Chain A
Amino acid sequence: MTTINREATPEGDNIAGPDQLHSDLHEIWGNPRGLKAFTIVNHTTLGLRFMVTGMAFFLLGGLLAMLVRTQLALPDQDFMSPDIYNQVTTMHGTVMMFLFAIPMLEGLAIYMIPKMIGARDLVCPRLTSLGYWCYLFGGIILSFSLVLEMAPDSGWFMYTPLSSSEYSPGLGSDFWLLGITFVEISALSAGVELVVSILRTRTQGMALHKMPLFAWYILAMALMIVVGFPPLILGSILLELERAVGMPFFEVAGGGDPILWQHLFWLFGHPEVYIIFLPAAGIVSTLIPVFAGRPIVGYGWVVFAITVTGFISFGLWVHHMFTVGIPQLAQAFFSAASMLVAVPTAIQVFVWLATLWLGKPKMKLPMLWIMGFLIIFVCGGLTGVMLALVPFNWQVHDTHFVVAHMHYVLVGGMFFPLIAGLYYWLPLFSGRMPSETLGKWGFWLTFLGFNGTFLIMHWTGLLGMPRRVYSYETGMGWDIFNLLSSMSSFIMSAGIAMVLLDFALHFRFGKPAKHNPWNADTLEWANSMPPSAYNFVSLPKIETRHPLWDDPDLPRTMAEGQHSLAVATHGRREMWGTDPLTGKVREIIHLPGNSWWPLFAAMALAVVCLSLLTRLYPLAGIAVVVAGLFLLRWSWENGAHPKAAPDAEVAPGDPPLHSRTMDGPGLWAMSITLLANGSFFLSYLFGWFYLWTVSPEWRMPDTSPLSLVGLILAGVALTAGAGILEKLVRGLRQGKDEGLAIGMYCISALGFVQVAITLWVLLSADLAVTETSHDAIIMVGLAYSLLHGGLGAVLTLLQGLRVGYGFVGAHAPFEPAVVAQWWRYNLVTFWILVGALAVLPRVIGS
């Protein structure tokens, strides 16, 4: 192996010339063609795939919206039957939220984040790929229900009991619950890897306070996805179990409570709004300084506002439920919290204003969309504060006023900045400029059409028109306003069509763009246009927040390989792993290459989804096992595996490969995954205590059906296993790996013992899961523990094998530390479960 001085050399005397470097890097990073294009894991390609797929679903959602407006254009229309209308509205909301807004913004983040922070790819490339396939397959399955006329029709919020098997006997709700859960795998995987990428793979010197603001926004969004999605996943699983098996979590007669669904749904649903808004605001905060020609005013203020928004948005969910009959004092807490969120939003608006005020703003096409955003979003924000007021909310809740507010916030807060961002970054995607004329027409038609549709709708709502009605009768004073809304909505779609046409045409006819056409300050413009698969030939050291303003020559010197890691002879995909706080280089991260496993795993998961839909449970069981095997096979190709990094040689003076350290990005990815898992677990505990205290017909047996002795024995096995694992990891930290394989096998055996005893406790409890919600929810808790124990045991078993193969050991000590986290988590949650399910009922009694 050739060694090359990879320190930043200002003179740029690399052994290999820039062209040679480029072709070497391309050899390693480049995308394959033909059938192998399915194996691509590169973030640039997958980001584009996400965005293009998102746009396709946007067109579907838009088409459904047009159908709705056609139906409501005149009173007493029977353009669609009530049944079809309800499917169309449900799918419009579902498609726009789950298949357009989130994946689209994730796609943008996946594309943009590594380029902005000076990395070559996201830190878990195969996970990006898995996420994309899950999104695509889930989206197709869900949309296919429309073709079958079996689409979900209980509203995009799926309130039970309307969505239960009794009142929605068809497959519609199942399509929703299974399809959305499938798509959420994609959101979660993107969330996890974006967090880790932002924290651990920024280029040298990019300390936390020098990060581009967009990265702050995406960091917050990704963390919110990680914490916010699991409640809905839990809710969906519980509701699907109720529908399929009859476990009465939400059914009053069985001791359940339909309001629990609403809590779980909105625990996700409210943060979701901010998950969509934050990246869009990130686009605004990125564009405004560029077009004002000066740094943003109050960087710290913006970080403050992002953090506050991220947290407060989790304290607002009940404001969607002000009419369900929650005590007024409790409502007042949520009302106040909902109003508090106005503060960070106002701070951002005024930071943007101050930046423009102190700069020299230019009204280019992207700025036009930002202006549209401002007007619409401020208006939506103001009605949002109004809605936070409980008495006013009681009046306009579930009317067209709320429909209008929601579209002001979502279209204004997400779609307008998104289009601004796409116009801004189009030259980067394609190397060409869009047409100003078409773009301006598109903007004005969209802007006027939007306000015509939704500004009027506030009024229709105040006149008493409820939401989600398939028709209305004349004489209520609603007719003219609905007609105007419908006409405007068609103007708006003409505008959007024009924008999309502009996007499509510019790839072919756009004028070639000059480099960094907007004179931006962030690193993504140091890419070639369009970017190469590896982004940067060499990775720069960053001194300030505005690398390209400080050194306009930076793109050239980077392309010439004058900075770090400009070497490709080792055949690895490499980039920096840096300290999350200071941006000091800690290790070299080597990334896996293209792989079939993500596609295969996603296909197996699609089979799971389809077989659950068609109630072929044995097939579903087999497919779960197959998916698990694919995922484990994928994890096999890590560390010192021949396909990963069998030889750990690095250039003198360079830090080690991450798989040869104890603190690589995988450890962080596991932590963030466990954060999501913890959110799921907390939601479960919430469900348990909620049903216990609030459910109207809750029935608790006098004695707990769970054997405490059995659970304690299982817990002892688990604790012993986790203890040994900690000891082994401590040894590895000191470079010792004696008895590692044997130790792993022992731990695995202890794990299986725990699983076996827990299973015995579960079976001997003789639970009547279809009769009482008490038994049903206990069942879910123990199943959760079994799954975690089982997976922990399998993972340690594989670690034992990997030690044997030499993939893991004192020379490559990384993986046991990752597995140890899983065990630690399992240990904590197991004992909490024992306390909550078996001990507390014995102490307090029913």
Chain B
Amino acid sequence: MRLIIQRLTKQRVNSLGIPLALLAGLLLTGCAGDKSILNPAGQAARDVVMIWWVMLGFGTVVLVLVTAFWLYTFKRKEVTRTPAEERKIARRWIIGGGIVLPVASITALLAFGVPTGQRLLPLPLGEPPEVIEVIGHQWWWEVRYPGAEGGEVVTSNQLIMPAGEPVDFHVTGADVIHAFWVPRLGGKIDMVPGRVNKIRLEADEPAVFGAQCAEFCGAQHAQMQLYVEAVERDEYDAWLAARQTEALSSLAANDQQHETAREAFMTHCASCHRVAGLSFGEEGPDLSDLGSRTSLGAGIMAMEEGAVTHWLKHHQRLKPGNKMPPHGDIETATLESLGAWLETLTP
């Protein structure tokens, strides 16, 4: 899993890279991107793609015919007609093309569309679905699992969901309006401060999907990304269990090697960041299991050795305007030890 994400996030630009990427883009349209609507991985998204292809086909026919008729009028020979004939022809065009055509099209569309929309509704099910809460912040994601056995699990910038079953996402915004969107699973929904919106998504099989904030939310809207991992149910349960506060607390507390890093953390980071068992900051992302995550900075960098240190040193260059203050006043050695320690936070 991690490999895939690393491949996706790595910003490889070399002399061969650009032409190759361009070529790949041209050939693999709709298949290569992990955010492509045209490459659905869930029923809701699949329905939409189906509707899209039908609409595209129908629309193309209409466009070509109308254009062809228009162009034809410039070529055709003159015919003399009586006013009555003219009226008849005109009425045929206007009623046929202006009324029958659009009314038939939109009626068919509505008949198609309403059932598809129903599927995304959080209607009551026999067995209540898994609920995952996603909260948008400028410019990161807070993710909560209220239904976890043994108490709520909180994490950030990673979203693990069970595959093969419907999941209800309850979303809101902490500051401005964001939007939660996993293109391959289905439609988007806004994350509005003060209210909770719900959307039901389902992933067919275990896989990694790109997600993106879709509502313009300020300077770093572009780099508010997320990787959604759908995993088998038992893997999901195990993942949740490992992120219970007690389990994570022991992780941070029992670690004797990184005493200085922990002290630096308490001085510089703890007021904004939470690490289970150490701090309770809520301004920035939770870091309790940072080492186990696949990406950093809300989906903009792959997590690999030294990545956290690199981020801590250069985050304002990597993601200009993000809300973490620049770390120019902290010694490099401290940042490096912090980075090394945070990478060990793996349940």
Contacts and interface: CB of A to CB of B under 8 A. Distances in A.
Contact of B8 (A258, A395, A475): A475
Nearest to B196: A325
B306 interface: no
Interface string A66-82: 00000000101000011
A469 B48 contact: no
Contacts of B176: 159, 161-162, 167
Interface stretch (B63-71, B276-284, B336-344): B63-71
Contacts of B93: 297, 350-351, 353-354, 357
B303 to A, nearest CB: 16
A342 B17 CA distance: 45
Contact of A481 (B25, B37, B67): B25
A258 B99 contact: no
A88 to B, nearest CB: 13
A83 B316 CA distance: 13
Interface stretch (A36-44, A175-183, A373-381, A538-546): A373-381
A65 to B, nearest CB: 17
Given A86-B219, A358-B90, A477-B36, A386 B55 contact: yes
A763 interface: no
Interface string B88-120: 011101101111011101100110111011111
Given A252-B193, A301-B94, A385 B105 contact: yes
A643 interface: no
B328 interface: no
Interface in A289-308: 297-298, 301, 305
Interface stretch (B154-162, B184-192, B227-235, B238-246): B184-192
A534 B294 CA distance: 74
Contacts of B126: none
A229 to B, nearest CB: 24
B24 interface: yes
Interface in B173-225: 175-177, 179, 181, 183, 186-190, 192-195, 197-198, 210, 212-223
A332 interface: yes
Given A395-B45, A469-B222, A162 B216 contact: yes
A468 interface: yes
A353 B70 contact: yes
B261 interface: no
Nearest to B100: A346
B99 A371 contact: no
Interface string A450-472: 00000000010011111111111
A323 B189 contact: yes
B1 to A, nearest CB: 17
Contacts of B36: 462-464, 477
Interface stretch (A14-22, A396-404, A814-822): A396-404
B70 A356 contact: yes
B260 interface: no
A817 B29 CA distance: 68
Contacts of A252: 193-194
Interface in A316-366: 323-325, 328, 331-332, 335-336, 339-340, 342-343, 345-351, 353-354, 356-363
A466 B212 contact: yes
A76 B13 contact: yes
Contacts of B131: none
A360 B221 contact: no
Interface string A242-254: 0000000000100
B110 A336 contact: yes
Contact of A339 (B106, B116, B195): B106
Point out which of B24, B48, B193, B223 has the most chain A C-beta atoms below 10 A from its C-beta. B193
Nearest to B67: A375
B26 interface: yes
Contacts of A481: 25
Given A466-B212, A475-B8, A395 B113 contact: no
Contacts of A298: 90-91, 94
Nearest to A322: B187
Interface string B1-13: 0000001110111
A325 B189 contact: yes
A395 B183 contact: yes
Given A339-B106, A343-B102, A396 B37 contact: yes
A697 interface: yes
Contacts of A382: 55, 59, 62-63
Contacts of A395: 37, 45, 48, 183, 186-188
B132 interface: no
A361 B98 contact: no
B320 A81 contact: yes
Point out which of B99, B121, B300 has the most chain A C-beta atoms below 10 A from its C-beta. B99
B15 to A, nearest CB: 14
A466 B188 CA distance: 11
A483 interface: yes
A257 B194 contact: yes
A69 B37 CA distance: 23
Interface stretch (B73-81, B140-148, B248-256): B73-81
B97 A346 contact: yes
A357 B73 contact: yes
A473 interface: yes
A468 B73 contact: no
B35 interface: yes
Given A162-B216, A358-B81, A378-B67, A351 B38 contact: no
B105 A342 contact: yes
Nearest to A695: B194
Contacts of A167: 138, 175-176, 218
B177 to A, nearest CB: 6
A483 B23 CA distance: 12
B56 to A, nearest CB: 8
A462 B52 contact: yes
B48 A391 contact: yes
A350 B97 contact: yes
17 contacts: A83-B219, A161-B193, A162-B176, A297-B90, A297-B94, A336-B110, A339-B106, A346-B101, A351-B94, A358-B81, A360-B78, A374-B67, A379-B63, A391-B44, A391-B116, A395-B187, A477-B32
- Closest A-B pairs by Cβ, 8 of them: A394-B187, A464-B35, A252-B194, A347-B98, A469-B222, A325-B197, A350-B97, A339-B106
Interface of A: 74, 76, 81-83, 86, 153-155, 159, 161-162, 167, 252, 257-259, 297-298, 301, 305, 323-325, 328, 331-332, 335-336, 339-340, 342-343, 345-351, 353-354, 356-363, 371, 374-375, 378-379, 382-383, 385-386, 388-399, 459, 462-481, 483, 696-697
Given A82-B220, A475-B12, 17 more contacts: A154-B216, A323-B215, A343-B99, A349-B97, A353-B97, A361-B73, A391-B116, A391-B119, A395-B187, A397-B187, A466-B181, A468-B222, A474-B18, A475-B8, A476-B34, A480-B26, A481-B25
